[in-house]
């Protein structure tokens, strides 16, 4: 039993989708190991890990703040210019008596992406400098929970469809926040790609 446990800790990994055990092997830089039975990714070895992920997350923080505090879209109709911010839709839906829907939009477009950036910084800064802070493991666990609810790329497509709907009646100008939001998506995607959760878990141990 004890022998199994030590083996399990150091040598083995179970596929998270079909539970098959595999012996961990060294893989080439930039490669990934897949389950021999169901084909899901077991672990990856990104070319550069914590440093790159940390740099990208810091950039994401700046973009996130700009995306929230600068105008998102200018709406021009009949000689009037309306300024809209990222959060305007949340307040509007709330005013129409739909607070749960407003809350969901707030979660997916602002809270989850913001929390994701904050948690990544909270985990990556100590990992980078070899320190420990309280609740490090819990923060990284929450990161996995919150991730599916951050929907920056879906929101962007929502903006596109909304604008197509308005082409006939008004003209639209994109604000600074819109470009920051688009950049935020690419930066966050790159940061996630640079990070293999298993590597962080091993360092946290």
Partner 1 sequence: MSSSSLGTAASRSLIACHSCGKLSPAAEKGACARCGADRHLRKPMSVQRTWALVISAAILYIPANIFPVMTMIISGKGEPHTVIGGAVELFKAGSWSSGFLVLFASVTVPCFKIVGLMYLLLSIHFKSLWRPRDRTVMYRVIEIVGRWSMIDMFMVSILAALVNLGALALVEPGPGAPYFAAVVILTMIAAQTFDPRLIWDTMEKADG
Measure the CA–CA gap between 116 and 150, rounded to whole angstroms.
8
Is position 23 an interface residue for partner 1 (rule: CB under 8 A)?
yes
Among 59, 137, 182, 199, binds partner 1 (CB under 8 A): 137
Running DSSP on this structure, what letter comes out for residue 11?
T
Tokens (6 digits) for 181: 């939001």
Measure the CA–CA gap between 57 and 123, rounded to whole angstroms.
11
Is position 111 an interface residue for partner 1 (rule: CB under 8 A)?
no
> Are 116 and 150 within 8 A, CB to CB?
yes
Among 48, 51, 144, 173, binds partner 1 (CB under 8 A): 144
Is position 130 an interface residue for partner 1 (rule: CB under 8 A)?
no
Measure the CA–CA gap between 27 and 91, rounded to whole angstroms.
49
Is position 138 an interface residue for partner 1 (rule: CB under 8 A)?
yes
Residue 148: Cβ within 10 Å count: 9
Smallest distance, Å, CB 94 to partner 1?
10
Is position 24 an interface residue for partner 1 (rule: CB under 8 A)?
no
Q: Residues binding partner 1: what is the number (CB under 8 A)? A: 70
Is position 16 an interface residue for partner 1 (rule: CB under 8 A)?
yes
Among 47, 81, 98, 133, binds partner 1 (CB under 8 A): 98
């Amino acid at each position: 039993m004890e022998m199994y446990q030590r083996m399990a800790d150091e040598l083995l990994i179970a596929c998270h989708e079909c539970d098959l055990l595999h012996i961990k092997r060294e893989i080439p830089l930039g490669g990934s190991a897949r389950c021999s039975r169901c084909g899901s990714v077991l672990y990856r070895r990104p070319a550069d890990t914590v440093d790159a992920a940390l740099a990208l997350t810091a950039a994401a923080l700046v973009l996130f703040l700009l995306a929230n505090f600068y105008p998102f879209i200018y709406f021009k109709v009949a000689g009037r210019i309306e300024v809209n911010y990222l959060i305007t839709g949340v307040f509007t839906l709330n005013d129409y008596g739909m607070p749960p829907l407003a809350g969901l939009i707030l979660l997916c477009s602002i809270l989850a992406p913001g929390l994701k950036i904050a948690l990544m910084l909270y985990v990556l800064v100590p990992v980078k400098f070899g320190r420990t802070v309280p609740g490090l493991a819990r923060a990284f666990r929450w990161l996995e929970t919150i991730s599916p609810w951050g929907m920056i790329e879906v929101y962007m497509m929502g903006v596109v469809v909304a604008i197509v709907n308005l082409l006939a009646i008004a003209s639209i100008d994109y604000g600074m926040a819109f470009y920051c939001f688009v950049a935020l998506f690419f930066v966050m995607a790159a940061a996630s790609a640079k990070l293999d959760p298993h590597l962080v878990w091993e360092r946290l141990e």
